[in-house]
């Protein structure tokens, strides 16, 4: 399967308006944002765990990165409420689930295969800092290496935000809304610009 697989094109997906698609595990559904592959795939998705649902134990051959948007995600390493950012690198293994149910923003198979950096950040207790040269923007860095920068940004009401996507940029709205080129992006909207776009 290929979905939004041309990275030279602008892509906008308003996932909250999309139907849920069942995964291979009962009670775990997803809204696919981009995908290259079938059940094991390079993928970006919004994933919903129904209360009491779980996946079988599995290894992430290509790594897994996610942000808990709602509810509480659980595996053998702990309980992770909304606001937790987690990077499980290639070769990591766990048994994910959720007793109360949860909603996640998930990226799979997008790591350098030699990456072994495990990251768990509770964004609820971290301070956002102003971004130099970008009025109305504060940020919370989550991860950075030679390939990518991952961060949360807060945009002030009525701010005009300018950015150049030198290597491409991908945005997910977790709260609030923004407008770009006459299109409104609300919670769970996802937006990708190709390299060199602005």
State how far the Cα of 145 lies from the Cα of 151, in Å rounded to an integer: 12
**pTM attached to this predicted model:** 0.94
- pLDDT per residue over 60-93, tens digit each? 899 999 999 999 999 998 999 999 999 999 999 9
Report pLDDT for 161.
92
Q: What pLDDT shows up at residue 22? A: 94
- For domain 2-122, give the CATH superfamily: Jelly Rolls (2.60.120.10)
Mean pLDDT of 188-195: 96
Q: Encode 165-182: b = buried (16+ Cβ within 10 Å), e = exposed.
A: beeebbbbbbeeeeeeee
Q: What does the domain layout of the chain look like in residue ranges?
A: 2-122, 123-193
H or E element at residue 142: strand 137-144
Q: Could you tell me the sign of the dihedral formed by the alpha carbons of 2, 71, 82, 184, in that order?
A: positive
Would you state the torsion angle of the CA atoms of residues 18, 19, 22, 23, taken in this order, to the nearest 10 degrees? 0
Q: Please name which of 93, 86, 40, 92 lies closest in space to residue 65, comparing C-alpha atoms.
A: 86
CA 104 to chain centre: 7
Question: Tens digits of per-residue pLDDT, 30-49?
Answer: 999 999 988 788 999 999 99
Q: How far apart are alpha carbons 86 and 118 in whole angstroms?
A: 8
Closest-CA residue to 94 (of 82, 85, 86, 84): 86
Residue range 14-30: average pLDDT?
95
Contact 105, 70 (CB under 8 A): no
| pLDDT, position 164 | 86
User: What is the tens place of the pLDDT at every residue in 132-191?
Assistant: 999 999 999 999 998 899 999 999 999 999 888 889 999 999 999 999 989 999 999 999
Residue 138 CA: distances (Å) to CA of 101, 111, 131, 152, 197: 30, 26, 5, 8, 22
**Which string of b and e fits 150-163 if b means at least 16 CB within 10 Å?**
bebeebeeeeeeee
């Amino acid at each position: 399967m290929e979905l939004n697989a041309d990275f030279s094109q602008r892509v906008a997906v308003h996932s909250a308006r999309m139907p849920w698609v069942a995964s291979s595990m009962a009670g775990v559904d997803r809204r696919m944002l981009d995908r290259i592959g079938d059940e094991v795939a390079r993928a970006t998705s919004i994933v919903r765990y129904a209360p009491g649902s779980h996946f079988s134990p599995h290894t992430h051959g290509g790594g897994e990165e996610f942000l808990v948007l709602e509810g509480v995600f659980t595996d053998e390493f702990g309980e992770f409420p909304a606001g937790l950012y987690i990077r499980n690198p290639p070769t990591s293994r766990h048994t994910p689930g959720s007793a109360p149910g949860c909603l996640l923003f998930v990226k799979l198979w997008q790591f350098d295969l030699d990456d072994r950096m495990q990251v768990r950040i509770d964004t609820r207790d971290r301070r956002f800092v102003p971004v130099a040269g970008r009025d109305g923007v504060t940020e919370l860095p989550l991860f950075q290496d030679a390939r990518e920068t991952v961060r949360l940004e807060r945009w002030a009401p009525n701010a005009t935000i300018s950015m150049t996507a030198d290597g491409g940029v991908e945005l997910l709205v977790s709260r609030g809304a923004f407008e770009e080129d006459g299109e409104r992006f609300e919670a769970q909207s996802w937006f990708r610009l190709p390299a060199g776009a602005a």
